Amino acid sequence: DFGVGADGLVFLLPSEVADFRMHMYNADGSLAEMCGNALRCVSKYVYEHGLCHWPDITVETLDGIKQVQLELEGNHVTQVKVDMGFPVLDPARIPMLTLTNPPIAVPVEVQGQRYAVTGVSTGVPHAITFVPDVKRIDLANVGPCLERHQVFPRGTNVEFVQVINANRVLVRVWERGAGITQACGTGACAVVVACVLNGLTEEAVDVELPGGILKIHWQNRQRIYMIGPATEVFTGEWPLN
């Protein structure tokens, strides 16, 4: 759908505690604890390439074991549903340096402008800010400043969110270690948590990103479920020395 190339590298490995194990590296070479989009892609790959023959898959990640359900049409995976687990709202565990707990609408100043940032971890840290129009945000300029802000000692992913209604939001993403990306699964989950905490949406929301729509449900403010597609764009070989 988007041509040859990627914003991350995923290794599919054997696991002693799940069906498969996944390691994800960002574009800058840093190791990501979790990646929702990569998890959907891996799940589609193992099924359609005959590495498993069942629609319910467990995948070991650095953020724990994730439960995955595949929606099928024949032998083709059309949608992937992932149990993303519980969001982390404790600032010490996100981590985020603030006395506000949970960290809702924390003022963070960047380049002389103050942003109300809500911090959430969905395996990796996210800084969510609500704006009237996401298209007007200079993401290439503001994104890296928030990513490396001292409030986030390990860095953070950044999401700017425009709320359309109680069940639909528009999102633009700056990913830690990758920059501007078309979509972010953990980010979409964190966005919905932030929306609910700020009283802006219901618990089930269509998150519209430049790369497509993810359906996110923070069920009873407990576990987060993500539903979205995965598409095989190309195949190739890379020489290893």
Q: What DSSP string runs through 197-210?
A: HTTSS-SEEEEEET
Instruction: Determine the pLDDT at residue 4.
Output: 80
Domains 8-83 and 106-227 share a fold: yes
Q: What digits encode the pLDDT tens for the residues 110-152? A: 999 999 999 999 999 999 999 999 999 999 999 999 999 999 9
Backbone angles phi, psi at 102, to 5 degrees: -70, 155
**Catalytic annotation, pick one of 41, 184, 189, 195:** 184
- Looking at domain 8-83, its CATH superfamily turns out to be Diaminopimelate Epimerase; Chain A, domain 1 (3.10.310.10)
Is position 195 annotated as part of the catalytic site? no
DSSP 37: H
For all residues of the chain together, what is the average pLDDT?
95
For a pLDDT cut of 70, what percent of the chain falls above it?
99
Lowest-confidence pick of 175-184, 201-210, 231-240: 231-240
Distance from chain centroid for Cα 79: 16
Exposed/middle/buried for 240, CB within 10 Å: 0-12, 13-18, 19+?
A: exposed
DSSP line for 123-151:
SSEEEEEE-S-GGGS-HHHHHHHHHT-TT
Residue of 216, 205, 211, 110 lying closest to 156 (CA atoms): 110
**Residue 2 reports pLDDT greater than 80:** no
Instruction: Determine the pLDDT at residue 102.
Output: 98
For residues 211-234, give the mean pLDDT. 95
DSSP helix/strand/coil, 32: strand
Distance CA 156, CA 94 (A): 9
**Residue 18 reports pLDDT greater than 60:** yes
Instruction: Determine the pLDDT at residue 98.
Output: 98
Question: Phi-psi bin for 54: left (phi > 0), alpha (psi -120 to 50), beta?
Answer: beta
Instruction: Determine the pLDDT at residue 115.
Output: 98
In terms of pLDDT, which residue wins out, 6 or 199? 199
CB 137 within 8 A of CB 210: no
**Residue 218 reports pLDDT greater than 90:** yes
Residues in CB range of 149: below 8 A, 6 or more apart: 108, 110, 127, 156
Instruction: Determine the pLDDT at residue 236.
Output: 87
Is position 184 annotated as part of the catalytic site? yes
Query: What are the strands, taking DSSP E only, across 7-75?
Result: 8-13, 20-26, 31-32, 56-61, 64-73
**Catalytic annotation, pick one of 35, 41, 189, 195:** 35
Strand-pair category, 212-218 with 64-73 = unpaired
CATH number of 106-227: 3.10.310.10
pLDDT band at 1 (very low <50, low <70, confident <90, very high): low
Residue of 182, 174, 171, 169 lying closest to 124 (CA atoms): 174
Distance CA 17, CA 15 (A): 6
Residues in CB range of 152: below 8 A, 6 or more apart: 94, 95, 96, 97, 119, 125, 127, 146
In terms of pLDDT, which residue wins out, 238 or 1? 238
Please give the model's pTM, rounded to 2 decimal places.
0.91
**Residue 217 reports pLDDT greater than 80:** yes
Instruction: Determine the pLDDT at residue 27.
Output: 87
Exposed/middle/buried for 99, CB within 10 Å: 0-12, 13-18, 19+?
A: exposed
Q: What digits encode the pLDDT tens for the residues 61-100? A: 999 999 999 999 999 999 999 999 999 999 999 999 999 9
